[in-house]
Amino acid sequence: MNLFLDLHDISFAYDKKKPALTSISLRVPARLPRDENSDENTNETIDENSGTNNDEGSGIFVSIIGPNGSGKTTLLKILAGILPPATGTALLLETPVTRIPDPSKILAYVPQTLSLGFSLSVLDFILLGIPTEKSLTGKVTGQTARKAQEALKLLHIEDYARRDILKLSGGEKQKIILTKALAQETPALLLDEPITHLDLAGQIEILDLLKKLTKKNKKIIAIMHDINLAARYSDYTIMLKNGTLFAAGKTQHIITEQSIQQCFSVPVKRAGDFFIPIKTQ
């Protein structure tokens, strides 16, 4: 499989007056090739823990950034098969998103938050993510319990298992939503602002984890609000502005002072690994 995402002329509108996405076409490779001889800046943005993961080239971390209302969530939902595109075709892992019968086998979708009417234990919630054949009676096999436990261990939250979803804080909820997605063990992971409610340590922990997962052949696409973190962790970036594609490509090429200024209308200057807004006197 060569392409993670292949979009051609995707448009969508929630209501007739204001289209949310207009004519998006892009291609994202399924893995970043080891040798990129056309690039001068190699792996400046890679965290030291990840080491030389891109050299292995098994997965890819794509970030979607853009100002509010630029259509990021819409794009992600189209990729997840939740919204049908009005025009164009979208291929995820070389399957058209509209024709995937059971998307949960290919992709795991992590929404920003969940609203649940009544209590569900965290464990039950995660188990929902693990497809079991005879789940009518709620019989939990040893296999599924193991998967759930592993997922919880990934995020170091084994002690959450008995807790009630309704009583979790925003950050804790985000963690368990992610855990459920991970328990699904799908090749693709689609995340909508997965770290917004977390504290700094939590953010770094999750991003490190995601990066580590790309080593294991996971294709990740995440909407990020923090440009710096996106620049640091992602391999590929899609920048949206006003529902149109502003830029897409390898992160180090895409996220630049000029692009940020044009896309976000905020002048920034680069300081080492970071982009810092320029103070206007």
Partner 1 sequence: MKRDYFAARRGKIFLAALFLLLPLPASLVYISHGLITIPFGEVLRILASGFVSAETATTQELVIWLIRLPRVCAGTLVGAGLAITGAAYQGIFRNRLADPYMTGVSAGATLGCTIAILLGFDSSVFGLGGITLFSFCGALVTSLLIFTFIAASRRVSHTAILLTGISINLFLSGLVSLLMFLNRDKIETIVLWTMGSLSGLNWQKILFALPLLCAGLTGLFFCARPLDYLVLGSDIARVHGIAVKRSTFLIILFSSLVTSVCVSLSGIVGFVGLLIPNIVRLLFGSRSGLVFAFSCGLGALFLQLADFLARTLLSPAELPLGILTSIIGVPFFIFLVLKKTEQSA
Could you list the residues that contact partner 1 (CB under 8 A)? 77, 80-82, 100-104, 107-109, 111, 114-121, 123-124, 128, 135-138, 140, 142, 145-146, 149, 158, 161-162, 164, 166-167
In angstroms, give the least distance from the CB of 233 to partner 1: 24
In angstroms, give the least distance from the CB of 137 to partner 1: 6
Reference 79, options 98, 55, 56; nearest CA is 98
Reference 242, options 226, 224, 220, 265; nearest CA is 265
Residue 58 or 132: the one with the smaller Cβ distance to partner 1 is 132
Dist. CA 118–CA 33, nearest whole Å: 46
In angstroms, give the least distance from the CB of 254 to partner 1: 28
Residue 219 or 232: the one with the smaller Cβ distance to partner 1 is 219
Dist. CA 212–CA 218, nearest whole Å: 9
Query: Identity (one letter) of the amino acid at 110?
Result: V
In angstroms, give the least distance from the CB of 127 to partner 1: 8
In angstroms, give the least distance from the CB of 264 to partner 1: 27
Measured N-to-C along each axis, helices 200-215 and 170-183 cross at an angle, to the nearest 10 degrees, of 10
SS3 at position 250: strand
Residue 135 or 203: the one with the smaller Cβ distance to partner 1 is 135
Dist. CA 213–CA 158, nearest whole Å: 19
Reference 157, options 123, 187, 185, 129; nearest CA is 123
Sheet strands (E) in 95-211? 95-96, 107-110, 188-192
Residue 137 or 280: the one with the smaller Cβ distance to partner 1 is 137
Residue 128 or 155: the one with the smaller Cβ distance to partner 1 is 128
SS3 at position 72: helix
In angstroms, give the least distance from the CB of 75 to partner 1: 14
In angstroms, give the least distance from the CB of 20 to partner 1: 14
Instruction: Let me know: does 252 contact 234? Beta carbons within 8 Å.
Output: no
SS3 at position 51: coil
Instruction: Let me know: does 96 contact 89? Beta carbons within 8 Å.
Output: yes
How do strand 3-15 and strand 87-92 relate by DSSP bridges?
antiparallel
Residue 71 or 111: the one with the smaller Cβ distance to partner 1 is 111
Residue 55 or 158: the one with the smaller Cβ distance to partner 1 is 158
